[in-house]
Chains A and B, each alone.
Chain A
C-alpha cells in the first residue's frame, strides 16, 4: 500500500509540471498580458508603466518568465531604471547630480523554493491573498460535500427500498432535472424567492457586512443557499448511483442469506445491503473534490461569497499571472489529491481491490 502511494505521489510530479507549463503558456499568449489591466489604473503614466514592466520582467520571453516563476529571480538583475544597462551603482551625471537609480535584483525565490510570488495588481504576497480567501471556500466546499453525499445516499436508499413507488420515480426525475438545470439559474431563482420576495434569507455574502464574521453556526442563514446550490450535483449523482448500486447488491447471495436468517427487512436493507452498496460511491469522491473549485467559481460569484472562486475570476480578469498560477496549481493539486484519495479509500473499504 505505501509503495503504491509513493508511486502515485511521484507520478503527480510530472503532471504538476505539465499543468504549470501548460497554464503559463496559455496565459502568456494573451495579447497585452497583464499590462492591459495595469494600465487601467489612472495613476499609471506611460513612464511608470515602462518601469513596472521592467520590474516585473514582463518584457522577457515567456519561457524565461516561466523559469523565473519556478526558481525565482533573485539571481537576476533587472534594468529597473531603464537606461538600457544593468548596473547596481549610482553615478554622477554632467550637472554634478547623483543619479541613483540602481537596477534591482529580483525579489522572488520561485515556487520550487516555496515562494508563491507577489500579486501584480495588489502588490501583496500571493500566499496571504489566498490565505484570506481559503477559509470561505473550504467551509462552503466541505459542507456541500457532506450535505450532497448524505442527502444523496439517503434518497438513493429510500428509492431502492420503495422501488417503482412514487418516491422512487419522483427522486429519479429530480436527479435528472437537477443535473440538467444550470446551477446559477436555480441559485438566482432561490435568491429572488427567499431573499428578494420572502426576505427570509440574505441575498448573498458570507455574513452581515457590519461586523467581522461570527463562527459558522452564527451565520447559517448565509450558508444555506450557497451550500444547497453547490450540493445539487452531489444529490443528483449520489442518489441515482446508490439506487442502482443497491439494486445490484440486493440480489446477491449474502443478502438472501440475511433474509433467510429471518432478519427484519429494515436490517437487511439498511445494514447489509446499504453498507456494501456504498462502497463504489467512494470513486465519486475524486471527481467531486476535483469539481469543487470550478463549482466555487460560479456559486461564489452568484452569492458574492469572498472565496477562492471569486479570487480566481478577479485574477483571470486582470491576468495577474502569479495569483492565477497559484490558484491553478491549487486546483490541480486538489484534483490529483481527490482522485488519489478516492482510489486509496476504495482499496481500504473493499478488500477485494488490490492496488497494483
Chain B
C-alpha cells in the first residue's frame, strides 16, 4: 500500500503497512483479495460484457447492424449465420437471431436480477427477524418454509405460472416470492450465531434498541453472505426462467428470452444447429460466470481463508 491514509482533517495517521491485515475493514480485505483472483475477474468481465451488449441491444442491433428482433421477414427465414447483416442468421420467421439473443438477454437478465433482489429482501427481513426474536414467529416461519420447501419447486412454479399466465413483471414477482427461503435460512443461522456474541450483548447493555442492533450490528455481518447468495441465486434464476420458458410456461412469445428461443429451436433445429447452439451458450456462459463470481466472492469474504493457505 503506497498511498497514505488520512483522517477527516487530512492529516496522515498511520501507514497501513505497519498494521497487520486484521485491522483492515473486511470489505477492504475482500476487494484486495478479489483483485488478485484472476478467474473471478475474468468472469466479472465476461458477465459485464454480456450484460452491456444485452442492454445496448437497440444500439447494436437496430442502429448498428440495421436488423430487427421483432420484424418478421418470411422470405429470409433460416438465413445462415454470416449472411448480410445477420451475424447469427435468422429464425423461423426471418427475425435476426443475434438481435433476438441480445433482447432475450435483456429479458433473462431483468427477470433474474429483480427476482433475486426481491427474494433477497424478503429472505433478509424474515431471516433477521426470526433469527433475532426466535419464539413463535420463528416456529411459524420454520413450519411455513418447510411446507413451501416440501412442494417440488418446479411443480410449484408451474402451478403458479399456469394459474396466473404471467407477464414479465408477474414472473419476477412469482420467482421472487417463492425463492427467498434459502436466503432466510442462511441469514437466520448467521443471526442466531451473532446474537449470542459479546458485541451484541454490549450494544444491548448500553441501551441499543432491537432495531438498531439488527440494522447496525447484525446486518453488516451478514452482508458478505448475502452478496455471495445474490450472485448464485441470479445464476440459478436464469436457469429456472430458461427451464420454465422451455416448457412453455415462462416468457411468452413474441417476447424473446433465451429459454423460449431454445423452446422454439426444439422444433426448428433441422434448419440449422445454430438455432439450438447459441441460446444455450449464452445461458451457460452467463450462469457459469455468476457461479464463478459467487465462489470467488465467498473465498474473498472468508475470514479463515488466510489461515488455511
Report if A and B associate in a common complex. yes
Residues of chain A having any CB pair with chain B under 8 Å: 14-16, 18-19, 22-23, 26-27, 29-30, 176-177, 179-182, 184-186, 188-189, 192, 196, 290-291, 293-294, 297-298, 301, 312-313, 316-317, 319, 324, 327-328, 331-332, 334-336
The answer to whether A294 and B159 have CB atoms under 8 Å apart is no
Number of inter-chain CB pairs below 8 Å = 129
Find out whether the CB atom of A179 lies under 8 angstroms from the CB atom of B291: yes
With A176-B288, A188-B276 already in contact, the answer to whether A294 and B147 are too (CB < 8 A) is no
Shortest CB distance A334–B (Å) = 8
Residues in chain B near residue A290, CB distance under 8 A: 152
Asked if residues A22 and B276 are in contact (CB atoms below 8 Å), the reply is: no
* Complex CA distance for A297 and B240, rounded to whole angstroms: 13
How far is B43's CA from A180's CA once the two chains are assembled, in angstroms? 13
Say which residue of B144, B280, B291 sits within 8 Å of A18 (CB atoms).
B144
Main secondary structure of the interface of A (DSSP, over half): helix
On whether A297 and B147 interact (CB within 8 A), knowing A316-B159, A328-B155, A331-B155, the answer reads: no
Q: If the complex has contacts A294-B152, A331-B155, are A185 and B283 also in contact, measured as CB distance less than 8 A?
A: yes
| Shortest Cβ distance from A183 into B: residue | B243
Give residues in B with beta carbon < 8 Å to A: 143-144, 146-156, 158-160, 162-164, 235, 239, 242-243, 246-247, 249, 259, 262, 265-266, 269-270, 273, 276-277, 279-280, 283-284, 287-288, 291-292
Asked whether, in the complex, the Cβ of B287 is within 8 Å of the Cβ of A30, the reply is: no
Determine if A22 and B152 form an interchain contact, defined as CB atoms under 8 angstroms apart.
Answer: no
The secondary-structure label for the interface of chain B is helix
Chain B residues within 8 Å of A294, by CB: 152-155
User: Would you give the shortest CB distance from A172 to chain B, in whole angstroms?
Assistant: 11
Tell me whether A312 and B150 are in contact in the complex, defined as CB-CB below 8 angstroms, given that A177-B284, A184-B246, A192-B276 are known contacts.
no
Top 7 closest A-B pairs, CB basis? A185-B280, A18-B147, A294-B154, A180-B288, A30-B163, A180-B287, A331-B152
A23 touches B291 (CB 8 A): no
What residues on B are CB-neighbors of A18 within 8 Å? 143-144, 147, 150
Give the residue name and chain of the B residue nearest to A319 (CB). Answer: B162
Instruction: Specify which chain A residues have a CB less than 8 angstroms from the CB of B239 in the assembled complex.
Output: 180, 182
A334 to B291, CA, bound (A): 28
